[in-house]
């Protein structure tokens, strides 16, 4: 690798000079890069020499811009048949967050400090920590794809993330048992639609995701064995497809209460081409918004599970007549949390809770419900201490 000064005269008679770094890359291909200042050429020579020795150097002519790499990554995601909602999210990460700051840069010009600075910029310009973390994940993924096809030799974003304190994450607070009873009673009211009771029981006792219950077919409901198998779901466009990950495929046992309600509902359930347990009036999957606004929200209102609605400034929201607007106290996902909390209370092992919930790792289970497991252990310790304080040690009590 060498540096030499290059001088020439332009057709207009102007004298020009530049510093040329001449070198060979790791594959032995001769490369050259020109700089206006010698100190820039020296800095490049030092960096490039180290990268060539490490096998991580990529010449400018072999690299592409972040924008082009993002386009290639999205194309790969489409070929891998990722869901449209996922593709939309990735596209927004690129358009709104990555391209405005890094789009013109070539991948080989990115450094880990530059990505660290990009992370700080995201946070300083109002992005939440959760959003910044997702955007950095997308950046790392697009560089990984570029590395796979040879446009860059090193993923400088792979170790950059956003650390979030445990204090920042609001612990899951599922509906209390009394609230669950009131919701079930509201679904059992004589004026309720026949679908409401079996639907709410499946949500509360099987812990299905909204997309899974919307796409649930009767062939996956084993009423004799008391089990529900998940092998498909309905996405946000109502397209039936497999679960988003391998861990989504699972079988969940359900209690007799749910089996009885499903047996009764099966006799009344309108037929549908897909054989759905909870079809719309048209025989198609129920759109998520319709399930919420036309079924769950009226049910929760009937059960008294509503609360005042507030605007973004924290002020109480009012309707046109000056009356306070109300919103449901719980979402569809809160019923899933309620189910998990009951399993934990019954001392179901964490690994089994992970399987039944369809979490891809035990860490997700502990991140979401770790405080419930901890509370259970603390309660057991408190009870043991109370017993020991009144009865003495276990040996004394046994005597």
pLDDT of the chain, 399 residues: tens digit per residue = 788 888 888 888 888 888 877 777 766 777 777 778 888 777 777 777 766 666 666 666 667 899 999 999 999 999 998 888 889 999 999 999 999 999 999 888 888 999 999 999 999 998 988 899 999 999 999 999 998 988 888 899 998 988 866 555 667 788 999 999 999 999 999 889 999 999 999 999 999 999 999 999 999 999 999 999 999 999 988 999 999 889 999 999 999 999 999 999 999 999 999 999 999 999 999 999 999 999 999 999 999 999 888 876 677 888 888 788 889 999 999 999 999 999 998 989 999 999 999 999 998 898 888 878 877 666 666 666 666 666 565 444 343
Phi-psi region of 197 (alpha: psi -120 to 50; beta: other; left: phi over 0): alpha
The C-alpha atoms of residue 88 and residue 91 are separated, in whole angstroms, by 5
Residue 121's H or E segment, with its range, is helix 112-124
The C-alpha atoms of residue 165 and residue 376 are separated, in whole angstroms, by 23
3-state DSSP call for residue 20? strand
Whether this model's pTM surpasses 0.85: no
The C-alpha atoms of residue 217 and residue 208 are separated, in whole angstroms, by 13
Q: Count of alpha carbons within 13 Å of 373, Cβ hemisphere only? A: 14
Determine the CATH number of domain 177-341: 1.10.443.10
What does the pLDDT read at residue 383? Answer: 60
The C-alpha atoms of residue 244 and residue 180 are separated, in whole angstroms, by 29
What does the pLDDT read at residue 390? Answer: 64
* For the chain, domain boundaries: 2-57, 66-168, 177-341
Alpha carbon separation from 191 to 105, 141, 197 (Å, rounded): 62, 51, 11
What does the pLDDT read at residue 340? Answer: 93
C-alpha dihedral sign at 214, 219, 224, 230: negative
What does the pLDDT read at residue 55? Answer: 65
What does the pLDDT read at residue 59? Answer: 64
- The topology (CATH level 3) of 66-168 is DNA polymerase; domain 1 (1.10.150)
Q: With contact defined as beta carbons under 8 Å apart, do 220 and 230 qualify?
A: yes
- Closest by Cα among 253, 208, 212, 252 to 235: 212
Burial code (b: 16+ CB inside 10 Å, e: under 16) for 167-183 equals eeeeebebbeeebbebb
The C-alpha atoms of residue 276 and residue 284 are separated, in whole angstroms, by 8
Residue 186's H or E segment, with its range, is helix 177-188
Burial code (b: 16+ CB inside 10 Å, e: under 16) for 334-351 equals bbbbbbbbbbbeeeeeee
* Strand intervals (E) in the chain: 2-9, 15-24, 30-35, 221-222, 227-230, 233-234, 240-241, 250-253, 306-308, 326-328
- Closest by Cα among 255, 278, 274, 58 to 146: 58
| Tokens, residue 222 | 């084993």
């Amino acid at each position: 690798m060498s540096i030499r000064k290059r001088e020439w005269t332009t057709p207009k008679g102007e004298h020009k000079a530049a510093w040329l770094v001449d070198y060979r890359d790791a594959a032995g291909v001769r490369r050259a890069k020109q700089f206006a200042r010698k100190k820039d050429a020296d800095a490049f020579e030092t960096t490039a020499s180290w990268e060539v020795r490490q096998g991580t150097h990529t010449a400018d002519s072999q690299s592409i811009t972040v924008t082009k790499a993002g386009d290639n990554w999205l194309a790969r995601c489409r070929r891998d048949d990722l869901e449209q909602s996922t593709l939309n999210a990735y596209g927004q990460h690129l358009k709104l967050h990555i391209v405005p700051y890094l789009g013109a840069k070539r991948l080989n010009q990115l450094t880990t400090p530059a990505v660290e600075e990009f992370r700080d910029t995201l946070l300083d310009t109002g992005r939440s920590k959760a959003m910044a973390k997702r955007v950095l994940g997308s950046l790392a993924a697009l560089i990984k794809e570029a590395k796979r096809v040879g446009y860059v030799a090193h993923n400088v974003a792979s170790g950059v993330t956003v650390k979030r304190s445990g204090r920042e994450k609001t612990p899951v607070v599922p509906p209390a048992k009394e609230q669950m009873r009131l919701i079930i009673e509201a679904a059992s009211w004589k004026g309720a639609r026949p679908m409401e009771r079996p639907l709410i029981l499946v949500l509360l006792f099987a812990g299905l995701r909204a997309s899974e219950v919307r796409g649930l077919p009767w062939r996956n409901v084993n009423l004799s064995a008391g089990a529900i198998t998940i092998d498909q779901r309905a996405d946000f466009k109502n397209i039936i497809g497999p679960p988003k990950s391998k861990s989504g495929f699972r079988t969940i046992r359900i209690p007799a209460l749910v089996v009885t309600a499903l047996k009764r509902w099966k006799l009344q359930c309108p037929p549908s081409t897909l054989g759905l347990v909870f079809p719309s009036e048209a025989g198609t999957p129920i759109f998520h918004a319709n399930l919420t606004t036309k079924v769950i929200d009226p049910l929760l209102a009937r059960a008294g599970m509503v609360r005042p609605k507030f605007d973004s400034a924290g002020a109480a929201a009012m309707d046109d007549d000056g009356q306070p607007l109300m919103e449901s106290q719980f979402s569809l996902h809160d019923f899933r949390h309620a189910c998990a909390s009951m399993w934990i209370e019954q001392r179901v092992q964490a690994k089994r809770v992970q399987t039944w919930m369809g979490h891809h790792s035990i860490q997700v289970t502990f991140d979401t419900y770790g405080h419930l497991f901890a509370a259970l252990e603390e309660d057991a310790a408190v009870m043991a201490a109370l017993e020991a304080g009144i009865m003495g040690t276990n040996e004394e009590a046994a005597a």
